[in-house]
Chains A and B, each alone.
Chain A
Amino acid sequence: MLDQAWQLSPAVALRPEPFGALAYHFGNRRLTFLRRPELVRVVTALAECDDVRSALLEAGVPEPQWAAYAAALDSLAQADMIRPREGAA
């Protein structure tokens, strides 16, 4: 996960909230609540970053928390909220 390039799925709308963000997938109609602004920053940064690791660094997530964030990203991937990117920049 950490070395892979990801992006928000095209069918997903990300809506900022005071407490984080709501992510809604128009295709499968799943709705996910991103509970931390840091996670929202990570998800937003994914498309521009070469890999998840860089996105975590950019969002300022401390390294001891990376495993939890990776697990969260994994859940998002399972729901097709995020997708692997072909050929990272």
Chain B
Amino acid sequence: MNTQIDPIDGADEQITADMLIEEVSIDGMCGVY
């Protein structure tokens, strides 16, 4: 039995929008002055 879940064929996988995109701030990573 193939226990690997192929994301493309996993049509029953519950996807929400926040699993797809995440916004970050360009100013939001430490190490730039």
Chain A contact residues, CB within 8 Å of chain B = 24, 29-36, 38-39, 60-65, 68-69, 71-72, 74-76, 79
Contacts and interface: CB of A to CB of B under 8 A. Distances in A.
Q: Is the interface of B mostly helix, strand, loop or mixed?
A: loop
A34 B20 contact: yes
Contact of A68 (B7, B8, B19, B24): B19
A74 B17 CA distance: 9
Interface size class of B (residues with CB under 8 A): 10 to 19
Nearest to A64: B11
Interface of B: 7-13, 15-17, 19-26
Given A36-B7, A71-B16, 13 more contacts: A29-B26, A30-B23, A30-B26, A31-B23, A31-B24, A31-B26, A32-B22, A65-B13, A68-B16, A68-B17, A68-B19, A71-B17, A75-B21
